[in-house]
């Protein structure tokens, strides 16, 4: 799940709980680096439809919708063109500020417009005097989407089969090659981040904004950094939540950070009296559970509820744990779920893996996801200095290598892998127990950005902190400050008191109450 999805959930007093199909861990958990596709070519003439009144489900007030025609390949503007879709939520006040806020969605593969309704709660104060702009990045949502079939309704046995997932990726590629804007396999390589930020800047120019504010989450932080690199004079302020450096060798570093997050969970359990008593030596139990796999188990399908028998693999179980680690409230249930699985009861772990949303807003365009990851991440896995821990290992990275061996790779350039000094204020946000983009990544980026950047770490937060406690107000004051010095000096001390949720303890059946009290 991307930080914005988690942040929006935290911002609402009553949030929905849904699922993430086991086989979709590929598309949801990974974040890709954004890298340059070469020297920025001259901007192609933009063609657009006029902004028109429209409605986005979940947003009470009317919004403005537009499309901007862009060349599929900026180096050849005379060839195929695609439509970039965007939505503007107009400022509430008549006398609005000239710098709109652009949301950069995560994934890669998430539609910004699809999450507009759920994330507007984070931007309500900013929206008083600033337009909020949601641009579907090329390959997502309504912008030449590279969407594949969602395997959520397949059986657990089908979803747990890596060979089947590989075949599905090949089938997806074959379907995408039939799209009217895709002439050949190489066209699938034209959805890289560096080209996408050129679309983003074309939307800025179409809206007549001299400078804009960026709010990027997860993969969107890479988009923000690349946009700053290519168009530094067009950026007024940037907020990057869940920072992933462009030189981050995913998915190898992803496994390393998953391991660190789980180790922190085990340590927290050992330090919490009730958890240590109920779940002694959690780490050893987890390792023993992994060593017992693969094995045939029974569990209910997250959507149908029907009991199924399937082979539970090591990767499948790690995917369930990985999903829960994204949000501390879910991770709090892992000790109980791991102990239950050690006794042969897997409903808890399977259920935790089913807590991410299945709504359209949270789904990713898998084809776009692979086009980004295979071009920008997988080729650099050999440069990673990370050494994954004993539990999470490198299986996740190997699976991506296999998928990407059959997926077209776009051209990338070395320039993106260097973070350039920031020309305008940047607020970097990190969750201290984030399993995907922990503070170590934000620290490196802020050092490279220089004195115009500041790093705020919420120690007990997971992946995404925008909607936690007072953080969204900190973001408002950072963007709203009229002076750069005041923006960088914004007080974020209120975020220090966010606690880590205590370990979950199941409610005892009536006959077991005395036993529970005896503990």
Q: Is the domain of 144 the same as that of 207?
A: yes
With respect to residue 91, please indicate whether it lies within any of the assigned structural domains. yes
- The structure's pTM equals 0.88
Distance, in Å, from the CA atom of 222 to the CA atom of 236, rounded to the nearest integer, reads 17
The pLDDT of residue 36 is above 70: no
pLDDT at residue number 48: 52
Q: Is the domain of 460 the same as that of 433?
A: yes
With respect to residue 364, please indicate whether it lies within any of the assigned structural domains. no
Give, in degrees to the nearest 5, the angle at Cα 354 between 353 and 355: 95
Q: Which helix H or strand E contains 448, and what residues bound it?
A: helix 439-449
pLDDT in tens, 191-237: 999 999 999 999 999 999 999 999 999 999 999 999 999 999 999 99
With respect to residue 114, please indicate whether it lies within any of the assigned structural domains. yes
pLDDT at residue number 338: 96
Instruction: Read off the pLDDT of each residue in 165-176 and give the average, rounded to a whole number.
Output: 92
User: Hey, CA dihedral for 148, 149, 152, 156, is it positive or negative?
Assistant: negative
Residues counted in the chain: 519
With respect to residue 513, please indicate whether it lies within any of the assigned structural domains. no
Q: Is the domain of 342 the same as that of 213?
A: no
The domain tally of the chain equals 2
Q: Is the domain of 272 the same as that of 213?
A: no
Distance, in Å, from the CA atom of 15 to the CA atom of 9, rounded to the nearest integer, reads 5
Of 338, 358, 378, the residue at which a domain comes to its end is 358
Q: Is the domain of 131 the same as that of 214?
A: yes
Q: How confident is residue 43, by pLDDT bands cut at 50, 70 and 90?
A: very low
Q: Domain holding 450: CATH number?
A: 3.40.50.1820
Q: Is the domain of 237 the same as that of 114?
A: yes
pLDDT in tens, 433-460: 999 999 999 999 999 999 999 999 999 9
The pLDDT of residue 277 is above 80: yes
Which two structure tokens, joined as six digits, stand for 110?
């998430």
Q: Is the domain of 119 the same as that of 92?
A: yes
Q: Is the domain of 101 the same as that of 213?
A: yes
Q: Which 8-state DSSP code applies to residue 12?
A: S
pLDDT in tens, 120-168: 999 999 999 999 999 999 999 999 999 987 766 677 777 777 888 899 8
Domain hosting 282: range is 252-358
Distance, in Å, from the CA atom of 183 to the CA atom of 253, rounded to the nearest integer, reads 34
Instruction: Read off the pLDDT of each residue in 3-12 and give the average, rounded to a whole number.
Output: 42
Distance, in Å, from the CA atom of 193 to the CA atom of 3, rounded to the nearest integer, reads 19
């Amino acid at each position: 799940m991307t930080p914005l999805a988690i942040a929006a959930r935290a911002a609402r007093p009553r949030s929905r709980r849904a699922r993430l199909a086991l086989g979709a861990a590929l598309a949801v958990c990974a974040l890709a680096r954004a890298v340059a596709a070469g020297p920025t070519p001259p901007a192609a003439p933009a063609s657009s439809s006029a902004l028109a009144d429209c409605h986005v489900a979940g947003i009470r007030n009317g919004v403005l919708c537009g499309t901007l025609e862009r060349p599929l390949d900026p180096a050849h503007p005379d060839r195929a063109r695609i439509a970039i879709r965007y939505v503007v939520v107009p400022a509430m006040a008549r006398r609005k500020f000239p710098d709109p806020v652009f949301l950069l969605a995560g994934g890669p593969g998430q539609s910004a417009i699809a999450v507009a309704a759920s994330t507007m709660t984070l931007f309500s104060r900013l929206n008083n005097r600033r337009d909020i702009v949601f641009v579907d990045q090329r390959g997502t949502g309504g912008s030449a989407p590279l969407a594949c079939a969602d395997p959520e309704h397949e059986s657990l046995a089908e979803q747990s089969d890596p060979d089947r997932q590989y075949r599905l990726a090949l089938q997806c590629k074959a379907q995408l090659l039939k799209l009217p804007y895709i002439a050949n396999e190489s066209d699938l390589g034209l959805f890289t981040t560096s080209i996408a930020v050129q679309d983003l800047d074309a939307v800025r120019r179409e809206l007549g904004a001299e400078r804009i504010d960026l709010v990027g989450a997860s993969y969107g932080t890479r988009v923000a950094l690349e946009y700053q690199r290519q168009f530094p004079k067009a950026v007024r302020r940037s907020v990057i939540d869940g920072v992933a450096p462009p030189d981050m060798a995913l998915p190898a570093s992803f496994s390393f950070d998953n391991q660190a997050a789980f180790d922190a969970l085990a340590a927290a359990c050992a330090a919490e009296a009730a958890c240590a008593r109920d779940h002694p030596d959690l780490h050893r139990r987890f390792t023993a559970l992994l060593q017992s796999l693969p094995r045939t188990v029974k569990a209910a399908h997250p959507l149908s509820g029907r009991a199924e028998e399937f082979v539970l693999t090591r990767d499948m179980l790690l995917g369930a744990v990985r999903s829960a680690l994204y949000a501390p409230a879910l991770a709090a249930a892992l000790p109980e779920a791991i102990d239950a699985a050690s006794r042969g009861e897997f409903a808890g772990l399977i259920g935790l893996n089913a807590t991410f949303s299945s709504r359209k807003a949270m789904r990713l365009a898998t084809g776009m996801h692979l086009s980004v990851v295979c071009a920008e991440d997988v080729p650099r896995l050999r440069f990673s200095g990370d050494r994954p821990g004993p539990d999470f290992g490198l299986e996740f990275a190997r699976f991506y290598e296999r998928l990407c061996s059959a997926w077209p790779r776009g051209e990338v350039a070395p320039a993106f892998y260097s973070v350039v000094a920031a020309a305008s204020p940047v607020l970097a946000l990190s969750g201290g127990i984030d399993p995907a983009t922990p503070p170590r990544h934000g620290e490196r980026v802020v050092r490279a950005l220089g004195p115009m950047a500041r790093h705020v770490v919420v120690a007990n937060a997971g992946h995404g902190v925008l909607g936690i406690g007072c953080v969204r107000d900190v973001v408002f004051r950072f963007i709203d400050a009229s002076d750069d010095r005041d923006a960088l000096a914004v007080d974020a001390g209120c975020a220090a008191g966010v606690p880590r949720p205590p370990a979950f303890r199941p409610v005892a059946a009536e006959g077991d109450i005395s036993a529970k009290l005896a503990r």
